[in-house]
Structure 1
Amino acid sequence: MSEQQFRYIVRLFGQDVDGSMKVPYALAMVKGIGYNTARGILLKIGIDKDKRLGELSDSELKKIEESFSDKSAKLIPAWMYNRRKDFDSGLDLHLVTSDLIFYVRNDIEREKKIRSWRGVRHIYGLKVRGQRTRTTGRAGTTVGVKRGRGAQPGAAPSSTPAPSSQSTTQTKK
């Protein structure tokens, strides 16, 4: 019986993942899979959550990848999917890696094209989800509040002489 070597880097969903991490945390490094989704999949497949990713066999890795095949994770309930009621197909999908990036980019472009509120906010590079913009989200260098000269800490008093109290009016003769 041959012992499989520990792999420090594992190719999973088309990207390299650290093999020294525990399996749920390593799966969470893949875009579109969170910790809870990873735990749910591992529970249904029957893989120990305390194992390291580098310890898994090729067949176990293949089971993990197949569980997310054809844009659906059939082993987890539909409420855990990351794309419910897709705009084009109306199906519940669970997308990972480049598929997720592609769909999100298409959603943003569609909103820009129809000039929705969110689309306009994306066009101008402003916050989209209702956050405040008065003090945060400023581009470029930090802009502070302008104050008067005397109110600034460390400002030296001005060196101009104060007006004298002597009157400059002419006296009558």
Structure 2
Amino acid sequence: MARIAGVNIPTNKRVTIALRYIYGIGATKAQTICDKLSIPGERRVNELSDDEIVKIRELIDNDYRVEGDLRREVAMNIKRLMDLGCYRGLRHRRGLPVHGQRTHTNARTRKGKAVAIAGKKKAAR
């Protein structure tokens, strides 16, 4: 199992797919990394030589912000917004959608499970 940027990437997957297991590397960046190092996309991780794995590791460490550094930066950006007290920061603080989505219905992912209002009864006829 190859270890890159502190993540064990799966050995039986193609290189471009396996690199996506690293936080901060998606499809485009994975393809770019393979192109820079002239590694064919069809190759599997277990077919890579140790030298190629070292090259991938060095390229990611030098050119990309991934894993812990990226997570820390994102968390600091959110914390900065919350400390400023701007609208986006308030939405983060309250756990509500930040980008203008409706909340009258939907938004269950951010708001959590719907809670029934206690004491509400149907109108008597």
Fold conserved (TM > 0.5)?
A: yes
Does the alignment pair 1:140 with 2:113?
A: yes
Cα distance in 2 between the residues matched to 1:147 and 1:55: 66
Match of 2:97 in 1: 127
Superposition deviation, residue 29 in structure 1: 1.3
State the AA in 2 paired with 1:140: K
Determine helix, strand or coil for the equivalent of 1:28: helix
Higher relative contact order (CA 8 A, sep 6+): 2
Residue among 55, 65, 74 paired with 1:104: 74
Structure 1 pair 135–147 and aligned structure 2 pair: CA distance change class (3 A): farther
Cα distance in 1 between the residues matched to 2:9 and 2:80: 33
State the AA in 2 paired with 1:11: R
Cα distance in 2 between the residues matched to 1:67 and 1:117: 38
Q: Which one has a larger percent helix, Structure 1 or Structure 2?
A: 2
Match of 1:76 in 2: none
Determine helix, strand or coil for the equivalent of 2:21: coil
Cα distance in 2 between the residues matched to 1:23 and 1:10: 11
Cα distance in 2 between the residues matched to 1:103 and 1:109: 10
Displaced runs of 4+ in structure 1, greater than 4 A? 146-149
Cα distance in 2 between the residues matched to 1:95 and 1:130: 28
Q: Which runs of 5+ in 1 are unaligned?
A: 1-8, 73-93, 150-173
- Structure whose alpha-carbon radius of gyration is higher: 1
Cα distance in 1 between the residues matched to 2:38 and 2:113: 50
Residue among 13, 24, 27 paired with 2:19: 27
State the AA in 2 paired with 1:137: A
Q: Which runs of 5+ in 2 are unaligned?
A: none
- TM-score, normalised to structure 1, is 0.62
Residue among 55, 73, 91 paired with 1:63: 55
Q: Cα RMSD (Å) of the superposition?
A: 1.9
